[in-house]
Amino acid sequence: LVQSVLSQLQTEFAEWSWNYSRQVLQTLSPSRERLRVSFDALESKNSAPSDTIRATELRENNWHETRTGTVTAVQIMYSPDRQVLSETSISLEVIDMVPVLDAHPPYESCSPSPRNVFKGDDDDNMVFIPYSDDPSFNQVEHSLWYESFSWREDFDPDCELQDTVQVILLEASYRLHTRHALEYKDIEKCDVLPLKLASCPGKPGLIAISRRRQVHDPLIWSGNSIPAGCVFPSMNLPSNLRQRLQCVSSLFCPNLNCMEPLCSVHVESNAMPPFSTSSKLATQKCEDVETPCERQCFLVAGASQEVPCWSNNEIESFQVIFEIASSLSPCNLSVLCLKPCSEVSYQRVHSVSQLLISQCINCQSSCPDSNEPCRHSGPCDATSSCPCFQNGAHCQRNCHCPLKCLRRLRGCRCSRAKSSVSCATAKCHCVESRRECDPELCLSCGCNCPMTLAVRGVDEITACHNSQIQKGIHKALEIKRSRWGLGAFLTESIKGGDLIAEYVGELIYEPTFDSRGEVATHRGRSYSFKLDSTFTLDSSHLGNPSRFIDHSSSAVQTMPPNCRAYVRLVNGEHRIGIFARKL
């Protein structure tokens, strides 16, 4: 049934699309009647005989420059049979043109952005061949970076555009639901539609996309039966606690640099907290309970020896709650699960053993970078395969280890200076470690002062000098011609160590950096900066005015560079700042 309705809709849309395209193309051709009316109006407006058409021609070879600085031209009137009726000399004023304008320096346009955006890798499907008309560019070698070509892939001509696919699939789902009484979850289970209706963590479904933008516009397709203002129901079941928590965790970013939903940087870092306890800790929490919570408390009735009659949904919900709040006692867990304490105690004991087994199985997973928070059970040392320990990094704010962890980052103890800014030299522990001060840990240096005061210069003397990137304290730049094409120029005064701008771009992996590097080398303009062992920052397609700062090469250098790029760890995230140098 689903396949039949979908095929019928594709046929309907193809017929409508063909007729609609034909009508649009016909409107582009001028009407014969319209031309006739316009021509008659032109003849009636001119007081010329009916057998004569007034025409004016400026002969190119009849231009004469006189001594008075004027130009003489000849105006010739023709009859319908192209016979000359009259010739009249007219004088034209000479206007001096400006000197010939030089060509604009070449550059690549990009989308403006105030923050880095995670890109990862480019698509394996090659959309076009760059510099296809340039024989000096090795197109064959460059195409080996991709797995396929877009123009060779099989596709439905009537569903080429993504919006068209969404319109057809939404209409098919709506008809199946309203005319054939099929639930949306049952339509999804048939696995016939090429796009998923329900959302999954990190990837919105078709129904979620329909809420964000109006893809089922009745004005676009006459065969659309979805009423205006129709809102599709949510595909997430109310009892699916794990999926709901995963969606919420993936939407909101807790990093201090963001603190916003739909973060474009930490798209792979906002996972749900995993199991973080041990069997010893679980037993200790049970021993700490002294007063029974109710008649069926595990202290009175003991842990249930029989398997509690719980549904699969209830067991899964308990496991999710226990993974997040594993340190709670059975009494507190029973309140969250709405189950008797003795039964919760039984499930708690069995969940500890199962989660410990699964943790041992997954302990060989690859460790993240040093700027990603650790998520493991036990202390942050070699026994727990802590990524912060393995990478020689401090545990940070978003790590899931206890606040008293010995690897936790300790803030600097710099005090606000009266005569100069604080945290400006290597005496500051944060500066020495090449990271910016943490406003939650460095409490005495002034890095947690309001950003508006620091930007306006009200608290400039006592402000922390090692928190410029996270506060966005940068200088005004102007982009204009330089010795090497376009360059960035300061429009205000600056001192050594001040932040000029943050270098912003796309966070890409090494394979994408290599493939883009071939194009950048050929055109002679590169916008890439190495960020860390995993990412490279490329502002070819996305960036800010800092991408126009010229690189000073030692081969053509006439004076020492006046700025320098530094990688700083800002609240657990590597970012690049362009700082002024003392000359």
Q: Give the model confidence (pLDDT) of 498-517 as tens digits.
A: 999 999 999 999 999 999 99
Mean pLDDT in residue range 138-164: 73
Whether 462 shows a pLDDT value over 80: the answer reads: no
> Among 116-120, 233-237, 397-401, 446-450, which is the least confidently predicted range?
233-237
Most confidently modeled range among 51-60, 218-227, 494-503, 574-583: 494-503
Q: Would residue 504 count as lying in a domain?
A: yes
Whether residue 481 sits in one domain with residue 460: no
Whether residue 574 sits in one domain with residue 496: yes
Q: Which two structure tokens, joined as six digits, stand for 163? A: 């919006």
Q: Would residue 137 count as lying in a domain?
A: no
Among 399, 431, 466, which residue terminates a domain?
Answer: 466
CATH number of the domain within which 531 lies = 2.170.270.10
> Among 48-52, 205-209, 390-394, 401-405, which is the least confidently predicted range?
48-52
Q: Would residue 337 count as lying in a domain?
A: yes
Whether 243 shows a pLDDT value over 60: the answer reads: yes
pLDDT of 62 reads 46
Among 466, 494, 514, which residue terminates a domain?
Answer: 466
Domain encompassing residue 187: 163-237
Tell me the angle at which helices 341-361 and 279-287 cross, rounded to the nearest 10 degrees.
Answer: 160
Q: Give the model confidence (pLDDT) of 373-385 as tens digits.
A: 787 777 888 888 8
Q: Would residue 300 count as lying in a domain?
A: yes
Q: How many alpha carbons lie under 13 Å from residue 14 in its C-beta half-sphere?
A: 11
The helix or strand, by DSSP H or E, that contains position 64, with its residue range, turns out to be: strand 64-65
As a whole number of angstroms, the distance between CA 387 and CA 371 comes to 10
Question: For the chain, what percent of residues have pLDDT higher than 70?
Answer: 73
Q: Which two structure tokens, joined as six digits, stand for 370? A: 């040093």
Q: Would residue 151 count as lying in a domain?
A: no
Whether residue 416 sits in one domain with residue 357: no
Confidence of residue 232 (pLDDT cuts 50, 70, 90): confident
pLDDT of 365 reads 32
Q: Are 506 and 547 in contact (CB under 8 A)?
A: no
Q: Would residue 487 count as lying in a domain?
A: yes
Confidence of residue 548 (pLDDT cuts 50, 70, 90): very high
As a whole number of angstroms, the distance between CA 25 and CA 125 comes to 32
Mean pLDDT in residue range 128-151: 90
Whether 316 shows a pLDDT value over 50: the answer reads: yes
Whether residue 490 sits in one domain with residue 459: no
β-pair type (260-261, 477-482):
unpaired
Confidence of residue 321 (pLDDT cuts 50, 70, 90): confident
Most confidently modeled range among 30-44, 247-261, 325-339: 325-339
Whether 272 shows a pLDDT value over 60: the answer reads: no
Confidence of residue 289 (pLDDT cuts 50, 70, 90): confident
> Per DSSP, what are the bridge partners of residue 78?
84
For residue 177, give the 3-state DSSP assignment. helix
Q: Are 551 and 515 in contact (CB under 8 A)?
A: no
pLDDT of 48 reads 44
Whether 76 shows a pLDDT value over 80: the answer reads: yes
Q: Give the model confidence (pLDDT) of 15-68 as tens digits.
A: 888 888 888 888 887 655 554 544 444 444 444 443 333 344 444 444 444 444
**Angle (CA) 408 414 420, round 5°:** 145
Most confidently modeled range among 371-380, 397-406, 460-469: 397-406
The helix or strand, by DSSP H or E, that contains position 566, with its residue range, turns out to be: strand 563-570
Confidence of residue 142 (pLDDT cuts 50, 70, 90): very high
Let me know if 435 is exposed, middle or buried by CB neighbors in 10 A (0-12, 13-18, 19+).
buried
What domain count does the chain have? 5
Whether residue 570 sits in one domain with residue 523: yes
For residue 85, give the 3-state DSSP assignment. strand
Q: Would residue 387 count as lying in a domain?
A: no
Amino acid at 527: Y
Whether residue 444 sits in one domain with residue 496: no
Whether residue 232 sits in one domain with residue 306: no
pLDDT of 301 reads 67
Whether residue 78 sits in one domain with residue 46: yes
pLDDT of 30 reads 64
Q: Give how far the C-alpha of residue 542 lies from the chain's centroid of Cα atoms, to the nearest Å.
A: 10
Whether residue 525 sits in one domain with residue 452: no
Question: Quick one: residue 29, left, alpha or beta (phi over 0 = left, psi -120 to 50 = alpha)?
Answer: beta
If you average pLDDT over every residue of the chain, what do you get?
Answer: 76
Most confidently modeled range among 68-72, 190-194, 546-550, 555-559: 546-550
pLDDT of 352 reads 58
Mean pLDDT in residue range 532-559: 81
DSSP code per residue over 91-125: EEE--PPPPPPPPPPP----EE-SS-EEEES--SE
As a whole number of angstroms, the distance between CA 130 and CA 146 comes to 13
Whether 485 shows a pLDDT value over 60: the answer reads: yes
Q: Would residue 383 count as lying in a domain?
A: no
Among 180, 209, 237, which residue terminates a domain?
Answer: 237
Whether residue 448 sits in one domain with residue 482: no
Whether residue 483 sits in one domain with residue 572: yes
Whether residue 326 sits in one domain with residue 232: no
Whether 333 shows a pLDDT value over 80: the answer reads: yes
Q: Are 303 and 346 in contact (CB under 8 A)?
A: yes
